Amino acid sequence: MGRIIETERLYLRRFMLKDASALFKMNNNPNVLLYTGDLPFKNIKSTEDFIQNYNHYDIYNMGRWAVCGKKQGEFLGWCGLKYHPEKDYVDVGFRFFEKHWNKGFATEATKGVLSYAFNVLRIQDVYAYVDNRNPASMKVVEKSGLSFLKKVIHEGNPSCIYHIKNELINVKEISTEETIAIRHQVLRQGKPIESCSFEGDNLVTTFHLGLYYYGELIGVATFIKNAHHDFNENSQFQLRGMAILQQFQGKRLGNVLLEKGLQQLKQLHANLLWCNARENAANFYSKFGFSTYGKPFDIPNIGKHYTMIKNIANTK
């Protein structure tokens, strides 16, 4: 099984059936489970069933990963990310054999996971929930760069929420004028700069988002309140001029831009987002939850397009 994350002393990979014995043994130590709220596995078979049915890797492209020592490949514990779809957030967690406590493994693994979350998965925010009675775990998350956010009751126990933000990537509202250069470079290359201005750009209901990477504007998207004649939903918005500079394409950065747009549309109580997607972008929108409406059509001097829609009211 391939290594997903590597640090100085460790590597992280998916759980495998051969981990069942070690995972069973680790989770049957009451000290390991003391502040987790979890129950130990009943037997090896139930541990194997857990590993075989663990589907977070395939569904969310993340999960809790086995942590192994580089020298001998020994299973030391686990560390990783968990997506909570009901509340739409990602947390980081870890668990190690007691004999491997106080060796810096949890902090090393957590830092590696956070780097992967920010640089590969392009996640914007990661949280950690720590039981108030567990100062050792608090120390790990603080050393890993997370900051205390607030105290809550989590799964019935007083807990602290910690948070860290992806500082590499930032999305914020920009002006119409700031969108033009990237629109021209990505969508209208070789055409007059005037072709980069869209009807509705300057309406008070329109908003433009800019995607910044290390402070550089690398992507834009425009959301115009505009009803498509074939749809009956109230409060429709059209997505136009979404563009990422070529050298940054294929890195999931478009997802970050769209997610921020959806957040603002939900705040505006919008019901439907639609766009005329270029043929080579249709797959990207499909993966993001858009569905194709009707047959493909040509836009003169640009090429084949598909009308694609996303119901905002039904998204979490």
Q: What is the 3-state secondary structure (H, E, C) of 25-64?
A: HHHCCHHHHCCCCCCCCCCHHHHHHHHHHCCHHHHHCCCE
306 and 174 within one domain: yes
| The two three-digit tokens of residue 218, written as one number | 């690398």
**What is the distance between the alpha carbons of residues 14 and 64, in angstroms, rounded to a whole number?**
8
What per-residue confidence (pLDDT) applies to 301?
77
* Nearest to 170, CA basis, from 116, 214, 221, 118: 214
What per-residue confidence (pLDDT) applies to 316?
53
39 and 152 within one domain: yes
For residue 316, being part of any structural domain is answered with no
CATH of the domain at 73: 3.40.630.30
180 and 89 within one domain: no
* Residues sharing a CB contact under 8 Å with residue 287, sequence separation 6 or more, in sequence order: none
Listing DSSP states for 91-137 in one string gives: EEEEEE-GGGTTSSHHHHHHHHHHHHHHHTS--SEEEEEEETT-HHH
**What is the distance between the alpha carbons of residues 142 and 16, in angstroms, rounded to a whole number?**
30
For residue 79, being part of any structural domain is answered with yes
pLDDT averaged per 10 residues in sequence order, the chain, 316 residues: 92 98 97 93 97 96 97 96 91 98 98 95 93 96 97 92 93 96 93 93 97 93 96 94 92 89 95 94 91 91 91 72
Number of domains in the chain: 2
Task: Choose the final residue of a domain: 139, 165, 191.
Answer: 165
* Nearest to 91, CA basis, from 63, 67, 120: 63
What per-residue confidence (pLDDT) applies to 204?
97
For residue 298, being part of any structural domain is answered with yes
What per-residue confidence (pLDDT) applies to 302?
80
| The two three-digit tokens of residue 90, written as one number | 């990602």
159 and 173 within one domain: no
- Tell me the residue range of the domain where 32 lies: 5-165
**What is the distance between the alpha carbons of residues 124 and 118, in angstroms, rounded to a whole number?**
7
Task: Choose the final residue of a domain: 165, 197, 217.
Answer: 165
What per-residue confidence (pLDDT) applies to 242?
96
What per-residue confidence (pLDDT) applies to 314?
63
What per-residue confidence (pLDDT) applies to 64?
98
Under a CB-based contact definition with an 8 Å cutoff, are residues 109 and 79 in contact?
yes
